[in-house]
A and B are shown apart, each in its own frame.
Chain A
């Protein structure tokens, strides 16, 4: 492997990790974070009468998870193309 190739692989992997860790932070906030702040969140009411803490566990977290995975898939496709390792 030429040094130039090695550098491109390295940059690609860093871009991948940076993206993953950012999304992982949001993942932790809406799941464990919302669970830890449950009592505080529950004082707010949203939509048809859900306490916010309950809503996060029943719908908010799940909807966020789906969005996070699709953001990852789309962004990774661009990153792969940028570094020439796409299929």
Chain B
């Protein structure tokens, strides 16, 4: 085991260095004028997708265990890295710094909520779900709560949550490719689809795992490097996570001097404090209940390794998440100092390029020919991708950031695609329709589903429906109000039965959906709670109903209670070794 980690560590260390050398060479080529902006963008896209495709093809497999759960042989630290890029989506990479840029202090509810969920996952879900050793989350639900109905509800919920999320990743790929390669958005969506399929189709989870590791390294380098440059430029010290306190102080002073009344980190000027707290809670519980994150913890060798793996996952996610607010603060600084107050005619070319994508609006409302703060409308999807250009960094940095965004979107899309395709091929076809299907048939169905689901996702993304980003924002509340309570209680309380779980899930989901629809349509709220935090109403109701109905009906069968007990221990007192269960 240790020798294996050593060997893998050397391979990935060399990979990281090779990528670094490549970026420096490309920068030199740009410096001496050998390569233009389009050339840099194409080089990055072809090289990185080429790397993913190579890994994907090398990891091809015909073994079901390898296809669904990477043979349960991924060491904790690498599984952590794969989980980190599986988790960090186009939304984290492209939009989160932008959300912080726009919302200011309230945006911190995302950085706290999306990381805090891992503590719940580590202590209350991942080790126990690994012990069961199934393939999917509906598998877990189906075993713990017998009957066809709970499994079907879990399959539908997994497909809806992961499916909409998948569409959002494909549009992320579309935005990046259309801006940097100059492709049409719709064509870019389908090119992105090919990029996703080469990573997953031949090797399933095994291929997805190792491409996700490769993607993590690229996305973290691509995110931290420009922040380090900007930090060195503004503060003189290249440690952005420590130094952006200075930028915050300066931003506050500059805003006061410019007379901007909605200050960057003034607390609770966009949201109420109760919305802030409610969103933190929903994001934490929702994260712990998301199928594509939980399945990653099926792929470690044993329970002990799973516990450490969650720690590594959050460590690698944390590197990114403590840098995101720094990125946002420096972007704010750059805009206040380098854009506001400039003559509109003399703005650099990136303004024009981004205005064309519709993400940047600039109108000289008072007609004085100068950019005023209020006239410069940055969409939250644009801040990260445009910052290298706003800060006047070499174009190679902009290309690198785009390649990182692509890695973030592709890695999450792969994980989601696996969940949706497996839900159909394993949970519906194998478990409910044809229990005697051979391994070969199951693998073929999985691959066909992978291609079908990916094609549907690309088609939906190319329609550019605005409802998609709303649904992604609601997904956490929906997961928190449906899956989270019944998964945790199913592990910790033997008395919880199928009737209770079904009632809890149904009413938790209906209450949350009802509030989302009511609030979105009428524009009203209860206590300032926005639709994205609606789970704060549904989740407690789910807990309460699950308990009350379970206690009012007969306890689960003896064998289910014995199963719950077995989940709690990595190995049993008289067993020779931990049973590698699964089917």
Contact = CB atoms under 8 A, between A and B. Distances in A.
A86 B569 CA distance: 8
Contacts of A51: 248, 265
A70 B115 CA distance: 14
Contacts of A68: 119, 122
A65 to B, nearest CB: 5
A62 B111 CA distance: 8
A61 B284 CA distance: 13
A82 interface: no
A49 B242 CA distance: 10
Max count, chain B CB within 10 A of own CB: residue among A5, A36, A68, A69: A69
A54 B248 contact: yes
Contact of B245 (A23, A39, A47): A47
B318 A35 contact: no
B565 A9 contact: yes
Interface string B95-116: 0000000000100110111011
A87 B284 contact: no
A39 B122 contact: no
A48 B123 contact: no
B118 to A, nearest CB: 6
Contacts of B109: 35, 57
Contacts of B304: 73, 76-77, 80, 86-87
Interface string A3-31: 00100110011001000100110010001
A54 B242 contact: no
Contacts of A53: 267
B540 interface: no
B577 interface: yes
B573 A61 contact: no
Interface residues of A, number: 46
Contact of B122 (A13, A48, A58, A69): A69
Given A57-B108, A57-B112, A77-B304, A50 B118 contact: no
A65 B318 contact: yes
Interface stretch (B157-165, B275-283, B468-476): B275-283
B555 interface: no
Which of under 10, 10 to 19, 20 to 34, or 35 or more describes the interface residues of B? 35 or more
Contacts of B242: 47-48
Contact of A20 (B124, B265, B570): B124
Interface stretch (B290-298, B308-316, B347-355, B431-439): B308-316
Interface in B109-138: 109, 111-113, 115-116, 118-120, 122-124, 127
A13 B571 CA distance: 13
Interface of A: 5, 8-9, 12-13, 16, 20, 23-24, 27, 31-32, 35-36, 38-39, 42, 46-51, 53-55, 57-59, 61-63, 65-66, 68-70, 72-73, 76-77, 80, 84-87
30 contacts: A5-B574, A8-B573, A24-B123, A27-B120, A31-B280, A35-B112, A38-B267, A47-B242, A48-B243, A49-B248, A57-B108, A57-B111, A58-B111, A58-B325, A59-B241, A61-B116, A62-B115, A62-B318, A63-B318, A65-B115, A65-B116, A69-B314, A73-B304, A73-B310, A76-B304, A80-B304, A80-B570, A85-B569, A85-B570, A86-B571
Given A48-B245, A72-B311, 15 more contacts: A24-B119, A38-B267, A51-B265, A57-B108, A57-B109, A62-B111, A62-B322, A66-B311, A68-B122, A73-B122, A73-B310, A77-B307, A80-B571, A87-B303, A87-B571
